[in-house]
Amino acid sequence: MIPYSSSLNIPFIQYLDANGEAIQQLPDWVNEKSPLIQYYRAMVISRQGDQKAIALQRTGKMGTFPSCLGQEAISAVYGSVLNKEDVLIPYYRDLSGLMARGVSLSDVYLYWGGDERGNSSPAWHQDLPHCVPIATQTSHAVGVASAFKIRQEARVALCALGDGATSKGDFSEALNLAGVWQLPVVFVINNNQWAISVSRAIQSGAPTLAQKGIAAGLPSIQVDGNDVLALHEVIKESIDRARRGKGATVIEAISYRLCDHTTADDASRYRSSEELKEAWQKEPIKRLRNFLYHRGWWDEKKEQMLKKEAETIVEKAVKTYLNTPLPSVADLFDYHYASTPKNLIEQKQKAIQRAEDRAKYNKGVH
């Protein structure tokens, strides 16, 4: 059993050190190589997709993008261990988790390219869309979990957020409600040490961010966010606990943002190269790859095959994204009202006509 704490003594769970060596007895499920290889595959593909998104932004083919570099393990795990009928409430740094839930990479590109249709494909099921405002998704999460409890459904809501979000009032209010109503929700904090340019050291005086769950009466725990084994154990048990009607959990996953906050940021202005270099030694993909090599479950041939597979998936997603026709101008007017007001219908007709006239002009039809 995971030793959750309702005291100020927050437990920290880790199975693998930075080199992928076991530092304590491993769970039985680790004897099966398939889940670990699936996690590794998900993280490698996610990282390549992430790097391509940055390239697309730099060449003017995509809007501002928040990289997940160095943080792939956290969302890869919860995206995988949630049941299909559960609901993921993501924030904006959840690429590997979204893909694990079945969302296509091209949909993610579409969204960050400014097209809301990237949030609405059937693959999203009932998961909530990307959330860019900080911490507002925590309120949505307790709302979803409340619905599950009222309907007596054995479903779980998992809310992802960054360390900066824990400083917002929305987060405290969501924790309070989750505790009072014993809701089936799991809060996973990706503590990547930076809220844009504000370091964890000056964000909060609390020794751990997990401790913020104690005031709400919630079991709270820290886990190594670069250790897939530890993440799987803690997140899965928390989800199972919520599904059994035992209430919410707060998980603080310790990671590091190896990238800029977004493509609009320059992290070299506020953090040292020495700190970044040290963090690279602890990143999750290399750690899991080393573990797989140690067990004889991975080799260079498999590594190269996976890289080629990832390249194929990413290039296909890019082609789909770039070749997706622009949405109709009518979308600016639809979906606002159950019955569209007369003045809006008139504006819509004029906008459509202007778009058609512009298209004819561009084709040389005068």
Q: How far apart are CA 289 and CA 260, in angstroms?
A: 24
List the catalytic residues. 257, 261, 270
Q: b/e for 327-356, b at 16 or more Cβ within 10 A?
A: eeeeeebeeeeeeeeeeeeeebeeeeeeee
Q: What do you get for the CA distance between the two ends of the chain, in Å?
A: 74
| Residue 184 near residue 245 (C-beta atoms within 8 A) | yes
Question: Is the pTM for the entire model greater than 0.85?
Answer: yes
Amino acid in position 300? E
> Tokens 């459509």 map to which residue?
352
Per-residue pLDDT of the chain (366 residues; tens, 9 = 90+): 777 655 578 999 999 999 999 999 999 999 999 999 999 999 999 999 999 999 999 999 999 999 999 999 999 999 999 999 999 999 999 999 999 999 999 999 999 999 999 999 999 999 999 999 999 999 999 999 999 999 999 999 999 999 999 999 999 999 999 999 999 999 999 999 999 999 999 999 999 999 999 999 999 999 999 999 999 999 999 999 999 999 999 999 999 999 999 999 999 999 999 999 999 999 999 999 999 999 999 999 999 999 999 999 999 999 999 999 988 888 889 888 999 899 999 999 999 999 888 888 887 755
Burial tier of 11 (Cβ tally within 10 Å: 0-12, 13-18, 19+): middle
